[in-house]
Amino acid sequence: QAVVTQEPSLTVSPGGTVTLTCGSSTGAVTSGHYPYWFQQKPGQAPRTLIYDTTNKHSWTPARFSGSLLGGKAALTLSGAQPEDEAEYYCSLSYSGTRVFGGGTRLTVL
Amino acid sequence: EVQLVESGGGSVQPGGSLRLSCAASGFTFSSYYMYWVRQAPGKGLVWVSHINGDGSNTKYADSVKGRFTISRDNAKNTLYLQMNSLRAEDTAVYYCASSCRDGTCPGWGQGILVTVSS
């Protein structure tokens, strides 16, 4: 089974920009992996931020964007807010199955 | 208002069975793939299974294949997960979640705890 890798932790200053990445043990991540990004705050259910690499949900804040970057899926947060402090997970599709990354703990400090 | 509400969790002994349900409302349930995702205490998210809109195609993680069965009843707007031969390592909060399409992600349920212990 493929392994999906994410940075264990990142820190961003309020108002700053940070990019979280999502890599695959099988090689470059492409749009065919249909990357999803999720945000989870302590004690809460996850919520979907980005789907199919770049698409946003109707409520996804404009400061979040998805892309492919250097063979990985990427989630960029531009203008970080204190409420963005959370765990972020990516998920990739492999021939119809899905694999989650281990998550990135984002601190806004 | 979009809602996904799980039920059916609880405590069970190893080898036992449970059936989770996820009642959906506020969106066209049959138009979306539906997922079960679990999270062991203090751990990350793990994909368990998913099913397509009409229920004709299902996929499972290797760890649950042959033990868990996903299904849906589009007339009742309900997703199910039949869990048999439960093991201690199946202990987790189980979430139901929808896929996304056309700018809409109906979302995730609040999660339900399944504890497998003797």
pLDDT (tens digit per residue) in A11-22: 999 999 999 999
Rounded Cα gap, residues A47 and A39, in angstroms: 5
pLDDT (tens digit per residue) in A53-76: 999 988 899 999 999 999 999 999
- CA quadruple A65, A83, A49, B91: dihedral positive or negative? positive
Question: What's the gap in Å between the CA of B17 and the closest CA on chain A?
Answer: 24
Residue of B56, B35, B71 lying closest to A34 (CA atoms): B35
Residues B114 and B18 sit within 8 Å (Cβ to Cβ):
yes
- pLDDT category, B103, cuts 50, 70, 90? confident
Residues B8 and B31 sit within 8 Å (Cβ to Cβ):
no
- What does the pLDDT read at residue B72? 98
Q: What percent of chain B has a predicted confidence (pLDDT) above 70?
A: 100
- What does the pLDDT read at residue B36? 98
- What does the pLDDT read at residue A58? 83
Is A38 close to B100, i.e. CB distance below 8 A? no
- What does the pLDDT read at residue A20? 98
Is B44 close to A97, i.e. CB distance below 8 A? no
Closest chain A residue to the Cα of B63, Cα to Cα? A1
